[in-house]
Amino acid sequence: MEAGDGDWSALWAEKIEKAEKEKRRELVLQGQLTDKKIQQTSSLNPKIYSLTLLNYLEISQSPSLREIDAGIGNLIHLQSLLLCRNKLSEIPRAVGCLKSLKVLDVSVNELQALPEEISQLSDLNTLNVSCNQIKALPTGLSNCVKLAVINISKNEISTFPADFFSDDLELLSTIVANENAIADISGEISNLSALKNLDLSNNKLTEIPSELADCSKLKEINFRGNKLKDKRLEKMVNGCQTKSVLDYLRAGGRGKGKGKGKQDSGEKDDSREKEKKKRPDKHQKNRKEEEEEEDLNRMVVRVLHVSDSPTAVTVKVTTLVKEVRPYIVCCVIKGMNLKSGNALKRFLTAQIKLHDEICEKRTKATIATHDLQLVKGPLLYDARSPKTLKIVPLGRKEIKAADLVRQLQLEAEEQRKQRKRQNVSGLHKYLQLLDDKENYPCVVDAEDHVISFPPITNSEKTKMRKSTSELFVEVTSSTSLQVCKDVMDTLIVKMAELNKFTFDHKEEASLDLETDPANGETASEPAANENAEKEASPELTVQQVRIVDTDGSLKVVYPSKTDLNMDISNLTVVR
């Protein structure tokens, strides 16, 4: 039964009034409830602009939302503003008043321009304006000195602002600019000393500046879909050969652009000779790398391409998750030593930290880790009604998802009153991510048991223990597939570091573990015996997991050839 207009209005007002009364720091308005109310009033409830304590505001998935009032400038404590998947035609200039803003996401709207005032956001870390109709970026973005990630994909941008490749943007590590009309890149791109990922696929480039090779941290580039004059370079680009492309540009290939490195043919020959003298002997470099590897006890992370093996894990994705939490990547990690001392405690603590930082307190992604031996494949990533979806949450008895969420909401409220806090940390504060969702996301095993209910909890059936050495890891997100991959990359590197630390620092056994608010794993097994300790190794193996649709067609595989391409001395990827 659908709610009447009065019911919608009451629910809308109640949510905003509750946020005001309880002095909440976060407010999420999305989906059918929000859209229904906006249809009635043709605008947002003006009370939203008086919630000056907010540091997180999301208003999304509302096709009726076409404008944001200048009152948004009143929310001076905002750190994250998400206005994605609406029908906004412009962003008010008052956004420049949000001096504390770190994340601005206005993707999937109908924007044709961005206000110049965005350049006043000196604390801005992430800017996502993808999937709009923007023709040009505002000048002055170099003033956003903390900018690390910018996504301008799927717009109509033809060029970067003159100051965009400024050395003031010393933290800018990711530029996603695919599917635009960009025809030229300045050689000043070499000023971006932190640049790691660059996607300029499907643009109108004819040349790639040789100075790109001077970006020492660059690990992943994508120039596919551009008609380059240098056909040899174009072939490398279409083959996703990042290292080959950079080596080719560094050696003076014909892919030089209009930057500061433009030379005539005589100067090219001289510069090549000088470059050869500067570069160390290849064999000498290899010997040095081998010595470093021995010093690090040969800690290796191997990526095995075994996705065609009949024993490989696969996850089938249904179409229903598209509307609730569409993105997922998974992998299997073998060789993790959690038996020694506080190894499991350190791992859980690291996972909590990743949730708080790179996952932006779960607003961008959620990590779930399972004991592989308890996971019965093949797996299904599905979305089901909260009234029928059942799970055995960590540390609890089997319960319906709707009842679990309601129970957690009551617990959160009680905790808030007892501690006299304005907001609640951990899992409870993200219950609102499921507000207005008709179905809830879940990962289901071959016996139809729910092993994961993101972003809320894992199942008691597959929880990790000190005896766990083989893990099934999943990362889900409602933001993007790339976010999932970035989080998974970071998690694996952290696991490699922890495994080596455990190997290098032998400890006495300890069962003093803390519980992860998301995963809640605890240990009850006795400490590892001496023989097991002797067999411990810092080596990890990362095994691919395929994500397929209901017809069996491949959607994504992780890790692919372009994943885990990181220049880390104690991590080796064997492909």
pLDDT tens digits, residue range 211-227? 999 998 888 899 989 99
* pLDDT single digits (tens) 351-397: 988 988 888 778 789 999 999 999 988 899 999 998 888 888 787 88
The pLDDT-based confidence of 184 (bands split at 50, 70, 90) is: very high
Amino acid at 553: S
| Mean pLDDT, residues 87-92 | 92
The pLDDT-based confidence of 100 (bands split at 50, 70, 90) is: very high
Whether residue 568 has pLDDT greater than 50: no
* Phi and psi angles of residue 91, each rounded to the nearest 5 degrees, phi first: -110, 130
The domain locations on the chain are 1-100, 135-279, 301-396+426-574
Whether residue 79 has pLDDT greater than 50: yes
Whether residue 435 has pLDDT greater than 60: yes
510: its two tokens:
């300890």
Considering the domain delimited by 301-396+426-574, tell me its CATH architecture.
Answer: 3-Layer(bba) Sandwich (3.50)
* pLDDT single digits (tens) 463-478: 999 999 899 999 999 8
Residue with the bigger pLDDT between 91 and 15: it is 91
Highest mean pLDDT (candidates 6-20, 157-171, 391-405): 157-171
Quick one: pLDDT at residue 552? 82
Q: pTM value?
A: 0.51
The answer to whether the peptide bond before residue 538 is cis (omega within 30 degrees of 0) is no
Q: What string of DSSP letters covers 402-465?
A: HHHHHHHHHHHHHHHHHHT-SS--GGGGGGGGGTT-SSEEEEE-TTS-EEEETTTEEBGGG---
The pLDDT-based confidence of 124 (bands split at 50, 70, 90) is: very high
Quick one: pLDDT at residue 541? 84
Mean of all residue pLDDT scores within the chain = 78
Other Cβ atoms less than 10 A from the Cβ of 22: the count is 14
| Mean pLDDT, residues 556-571 | 67
Highest mean pLDDT (candidates 233-242, 284-293, 328-337, 525-534): 328-337
Other Cβ atoms less than 10 A from the Cβ of 547: the count is 22
Highest mean pLDDT (candidates 177-186, 282-291, 547-556): 177-186
Q: Packing angle between helix 31-41 and helix 5-21, nearest 10 degrees?
A: 110
| Mean pLDDT, residues 406-420 | 74
| Mean pLDDT, residues 158-171 | 90
| Mean pLDDT, residues 419-423 | 56
Quick one: pLDDT at residue 528? 40
Tell how many helices (H) and how many strands (E) occur in the chain.
10, 23
Q: Span 135-279: which CATH code?
A: 3.80.10.10
| Mean pLDDT, residues 167-194 | 92
422 vs 270: CA distance, rounded Å? 66
pLDDT over 90, % of the chain: 33
pLDDT over 70, % of the chain: 76
| HEC letters along 267-325 | HHHHHHHHHHHHCCCHHHHHHHHHHHHHHCCCCCEEEECCCCCCCCCEEEECHHHHHCC
Whether residue 555 has pLDDT greater than 60: yes
Question: Taking Cα atoms as reference points, which of 504, 452, 471, 485 lies closest to residue 556?
Answer: 485
Question: Taking Cα atoms as reference points, which of 64, 127, 137 lies closest to residue 101?
Answer: 127
Quick one: pLDDT at residue 502? 86
Quick one: pLDDT at residue 144? 93
Whether residue 312 has pLDDT greater than 50: yes
